[in-house]
Homo-oligomer: A and B are copies of this chain.
C-alpha cells in the first residue's frame, strides 16, 4: 500500500498568510525580513506561476524602487536560506514554499505549457534518495526533484501560457 503525499495545489496559495508566517519564522530565528526581502517574497506569492529573477526585478522597478540584478539575487538568497522559497533549476524560477516550517526539499510537478507548479512532499521519495546516497557514502546537502509535463487544464486544451 503506497501512501501518496499531500497535495498543495488544491489549497490556493495565500500571499498574506505566507508573509505572516515568514515574519514569525524570521523573528524566531533572529534573522531580518527587511522591506526588500518581504516585498520579493510577496511578489513571488502574488504571481500564479513562479517568476524568474529578472521578472521580479521588473516588478520592483514598477514599484518605483531602485535596483539591479544583485538586489534581487541577494534577497532570493536570503529567502532560499530561510527555506521560504524554492528554486526550480529546470526553469530558473522561484516559487514560494508551502511549508517553510519544516526542513524539506519537496518535489515539483511543473507544467511546460502554463508554468503552473504543484509542490508535493512525498517522504518516501526523499527517504529512498537518502538511502541510495548513504549506500554510496554520499553526504546529501540538497535534493532536486522536478517532474516536467502537462497539467490537467492544459491537457484539456486550455491555451493560456505562462506570463
User: What number of copies of this chain does the assembly contain?
Assistant: 2
Q: Give A116-132 interface residues, CB cut-off 8 Å to B.
A: 118, 120, 122, 124-125, 128-129, 131-132
Q: Give A142-157 interface residues, CB cut-off 8 Å to B.
A: 142-152, 155
Contacts of A111 in B (CB 8 A): 138
Q: Give the distance in Å from the alpha carbon of A18 to the alpha carbon of B131 in the complex.
A: 29
Contact-size category for A: 35 or more
Contacts of A120 in B (CB 8 A): 132
Contact B118 A124 (CB under 8 A): no
Contact A118 B145 (CB under 8 A): no
Q: Does A27 contact B (CB under 8 A)?
A: no
Which 6 residue pairs spanning A and B have beta carbons closest together? A137-B152, A89-B89, A144-B146, A140-B149, A141-B149, A139-B150
